[in-house]
Amino acid sequence: MIKSTIVKCNFCNEKILLRFQIGYFNIPFDFSCPNCDISIYGIKKINENNLIISNAKEISEEINNAKFYGNFSTEFLNKKVSRFNCLEDIINNGASPFMNTTMMFEDYEKYQNIMGKMGNFLHFKEKFLKKIKPLHELFFNKRLDLMANPLLEFSENYIIKNCLDAEIALHQLITMGMNHIMPSNTLKDYTDIANKLMLGKEINEIINFIEFLETKINTKELSEKIIEIYDRWINDFEKYMAVIILSIANKTDQIDKEKYGISTINFKDMRTFYTDSYELILEMITLPVGLNNIIERRNYDCFPNGSKINNFKTFFDCTKYQRIEALKADEEFSKYLNINNNVRNSIAHFDYKINNETQLITFYDKYKSSEKIIEMYLFDFALLCYENIKFIVYLNELFYNIKKISYIKNGLRPNINPNFKEINI
Ligand SMILES: [Zn+2]
């Protein structure tokens, strides 16, 4: 069902027809006024059926007096804001966003399955904001005494007697929640990683590496940063939902990016998230680099032959952006980190221009003599943000296992089962 309303820009008075595809989710929207380029944004709430909008207001107006129109929905990509001629023209110009997306799925069951995952993630979001995030804060403040009862509400298995127990319970809750928006098999892959680390014959060298890491990484600060990035992502989840759905379904290459775009979030907000999450990834790169050295060369400080970075001393002398060169794509712990570092480093450094009408972003390097230009649509940029979150979930799995080994090395023993249990989250 489509609900339409006409709004007027507060600055140039342009009249724009907004068409909301009403489904299960509230619809955040963010677009530029096609006349004066000011950002018009807000949210269409499904339950209360009201529209919260900034920089424009709803007016009562004949539909034919609108000059532009935009389609908006949370779970689908939408045709970019375009000139309005008449309703027949809109309908002839492409079916509803719902029809466009569902037509791409040969198999309606697969589509419903992915939508179920999105619904599950929204439930997790509520639990995260109300319980899981405050529980992390209590943990960071060492208030285990206040965590025991709230954690029992999630599972009777969660008997919290020491920091290791709390770490295991919180990590399980986060991982199982994030799993709703991860590719299939993620949890199984992670169990394999844990086994490789905990039960492998290299455990003594891993302990040497952990002792070295303890001189380089502030565990509490890094854990807090990870939760902060998760918090930002989870809060904005609906804004990325259309991109996540298409990515999980492997349909991102079937999108007509000239015609369809993102209507839920603007570039500046995404860029802030992108840059901060990429910084966090670079900070955590130390973990797979050291683990690759151990698994491939039996020594955490033994780097691949031919690498400009040949030990951790040179590694830490480099900038964070250079350190990524030490991560070799074909080594064991790099396999979930498909980081195209040229593009990613460039985005983090370059100046940019965005064309709000076409949603094409141009990143360009002003400072070097050989000018390098990278172009991508807002859609692709949102995909990179989603990939960043996937990388962080993976890196956090390595970090968690390292923390766990460290607790055990220091004499703690788990009172709860550290394997993933079926918890309804
Ligand atoms: Zn305007």
pLDDT in tens, 50-99: 899 999 999 999 999 999 999 999 988 888 999 998 888 887 776 566 66
Q: What are phi and psi of 339, to 5 degrees?
A: -95, 115
The token pair that represents 246 in the structure block: 């298409």
Output the DSSP codes for 351-411.
EEEEETTTTEEEEE-SSSSS--EEEEEHHHHHHHHHHHHHHHHHHHHHHHHHHHHHHHHTT
Average pLDDT, the chain: 91
Spacing, Cα 68 to ligand 1 middle (Å): 11
pLDDT confidence of residue 351: 81
Spacing, Cα 1 to ligand 1 middle (Å): 28
pLDDT confidence of residue 99: 62
Residue 234 has pLDDT above 60, yes or no: yes
What are the boundaries of each domain within the chain?
Answer: 2-97, 108-409
What is the spatial distance between Cα 393 and Cα 174, in angstroms, rounded to a whole number?
9
pLDDT confidence of residue 297: 95
For 389-425, write each residue's pLDDT tens digit.
999 999 999 999 999 999 999 999 999 877 766 677 7
How sure is the predictor about 107, in pLDDT bands with cuts at 50, 70 and 90? confident
User: pTM of the full predicted structure?
Assistant: 0.93
Spacing, Cα 164 to ligand 1 middle (Å): 55
Spacing, Cα 75 to ligand 1 middle (Å): 27
Query: Can you list the alpha helix ranges (DSSP code H) found in 154-201?
Result: 163-178, 186-199
Spacing, Cα 59 to ligand 1 middle (Å): 15
For 368, other C-beta atoms within 10 Å of its C-beta total 8
Residues 6+ apart with CB under 8 A from 76: 21, 97, 98, 100, 101, 242, 245
Of all residues in the chain, the percent with pLDDT exceeding 90 is 70
The mean pLDDT of 205-234, rounded to a whole number, is 97
For 337-351, write each residue's pLDDT tens digit.
888 777 787 787 778
How sure is the predictor about 335, in pLDDT bands with cuts at 50, 70 and 90? confident
Spacing, Cα 374 to ligand 1 middle (Å): 29
Spacing, Cα 10 to ligand 1 middle (Å): 7
